[in-house]
Amino acid sequence: MKFQVTSRKAETIKTEGLTLFHFEGESLAGPVKGLDKILDGKISKAVKSGVFEGKQGQILLIDSLGKAPAEKILVAGLGKKDSVTLEIIRRISGISAKAFRDAGVKNFVTALALADVKGAHTGQLAQGAVEGTSLSLYSFDQFKSEKQKKKIESVTIVSTGAASEPDMAKRVRKGATLSENACRARDLINLPSNIATPTYLANEAKKAAKELGIKCAVFGPKEIEKNKMGGLMAVARGSYEPARFIIMEWMKGPKSQKPIILVGKGLTFDTGGISIKPADRMEEMKSDMSGGAAVICAMRAIAELKIKANVVGLVPSTENMPGGSAVKPGDVATGLSGVTMEIINTDAEGRLILSDALAYAKRYNPDCVVDIATLTGACAVALGGFASGLFGTDEELVGQLKESGEATGERLWPMPLWPEYEDQIRSEVADIKNVGPRWGGAITAAAFLKKHVAGKWAHIDIAGTAYISDKPRSYIPFGGVGLGVRLFVDFIERRLGL
């Protein structure tokens, strides 16, 4: 799909489809008003009769029957003017793009004549519209004999308002790059675990590195052992698939600037191990590498956008299987940090593999470390599917991440990390144990990670948000969400003031 920008008047462009926006309860404005006249009042009549009120997500699709240069005109409702946000623009752009696709339109123009959306300028709105469009049209059909036949080929954004055409073009390119990489993350998540193995993830990282000038190293089982990554080794024991530890370095910022480290859980399939999971919906555990996919694809996006920053991505990757040599409840592992860990439940494996990556991060003398992981069902219970859990040791860092969550629509919600929770993972036989009591499971998991960290650190639990298996949303189809890519790029720019 191609995105482009034009500063021509929307009403005058010859096109298969034209998207216009309308606020609920306001009079027709801008290009909507102009087109209403050309179409003999069709839009205003629909508003008057209550057929189309402009409620959020409502759509009015009109065939212009040769009266206007655009063949089909789609008016999308934005809801009440004062409640419209950048996220709503993403969502409505997604809904309209899908409507045009389903109507067989291949090329369309979007008239973003929206000067007054709270807290967002025209360039951001254009970027948001591109993100919503691109993300909503994603489909994963590589294993289907019958492919999605209807495809949008090009989208043209009309440049209006304060931003100049080149500024708009830059924003549009950025939106496209971010969404493409979020969709790559979705592919990695949606691929079954017999294909998306730790080796596959590592090869994806290497491919991206070669293509985009990222430095990349991959440890196999031997190097993992040599590096004393005891948590990763313990989890990998039960699986035939060899483990990988993926390192991606993008050091294009000032030499004196300490790097930001991103850590992602790359568990390519979580059976639970010897503490095996129930069969019901276990197939969804192919998504247990969503954090790893986010980190690999965020690194890609950072390189494609040539962001002047020092960023390192670390992804510990393995399966969690109940093989004959699998780790067993009661076993003790020594992590790279030197902390000894009693493994009470082999299904609490994410914290074991992350602990080594967090300890490894110290070698970079980092500015801060942020990890992202499908870590606990408890976090999904606490927050449902509309926010990821956010933990951390530094208020400023947590605050910046929360702001990025707000800005990208990938919302994060702060959770506590008081010392009482750390007491709950003290072990009788080792330094710590890998599970606490039943309640507060997302927090004791975070407390476990904290034991392996030095300096500023934050943890994002995406167990409830990484994968959609019930109802698809405006710009998020069934399956992998690709969460974290847009979030991390925004966070890095925010933290470094870029």
Binding site for ligand BES (CB under 6 A): 270, 288, 345, 347-350, 374-378, 380, 435, 441, 463
User: Toward ligand BES, which CB reaches closer, 175 or 316?
Assistant: 316
Cα atoms in the 13 Å half-sphere on the side-chain side of 365: 3
Distance in Å, CB of 463 to ligand BES, minimum:
4
Ramachandran quadrant class, 381 (left: phi over 0; alpha: psi -120 to 50; beta: rest): alpha
Q: Say how far apart CA 261 and CA 399 lie, in whole Å.
A: 17
Q: How far apart are the C-alpha atoms of 209 and 217, rounded to whole Å?
A: 9
The site partner of 380 among Zn ion, ligand BES, none (C-beta below 5 to 8 Å per kind) is ligand BES
Footprint of Zn ion (CB under 5 A): 267, 270, 288, 347, 349-350
Is 351 catalytic? The answer is: yes
The catalytically annotated residue of 171, 186, 286, 351 is 351
CB-closest chain residue to ligand BES: 377
**Nearest approach, Cβ of 185 to Zn ion (angstroms)?**
17
Does 8 qualify as catalytic in the annotation? no
Q: Identify which of 174, 208, 214 has the alpha carbon closest to the alpha carbon of residue 490.
A: 174
Give the one entry of ligand BES, Zn ion, none that residue 134 binds, where binding means its C-beta sits below a cut-off of 5 to 8 angstroms depending on kind.
Answer: none
CB closer to Zn ion out of 317 and 400: 317
> Shortest Cβ distance from residue 288 to Zn ion (Å)?
4
Q: Catalytic pick from 206, 228, 252, 277?
A: 277
* Residue 16 interacting entry, from Zn ion, ligand BES, none, C-beta within 5 to 8 Å by type: none
Q: Which does 345 bind (CB under 5 to 8 A by kind): ligand BES, Zn ion, none?
A: ligand BES
Amino acid at site 148 = Q
Whose Cβ is closer to Zn ion: residue 128's or residue 316's? 316
**Tokens 């009549």 belong to residue:** 45
441 binds, among Zn ion, ligand BES, none (CB under 5 to 8 A by kind): ligand BES
Residue 445 CB, nearest approach to Zn ion (Å):
10
Least distance in angstroms from the C-beta of 461 to Zn ion: 11
Closest CB to ligand BES among residues 187, 349: 349
Catalytic residues: 277, 351
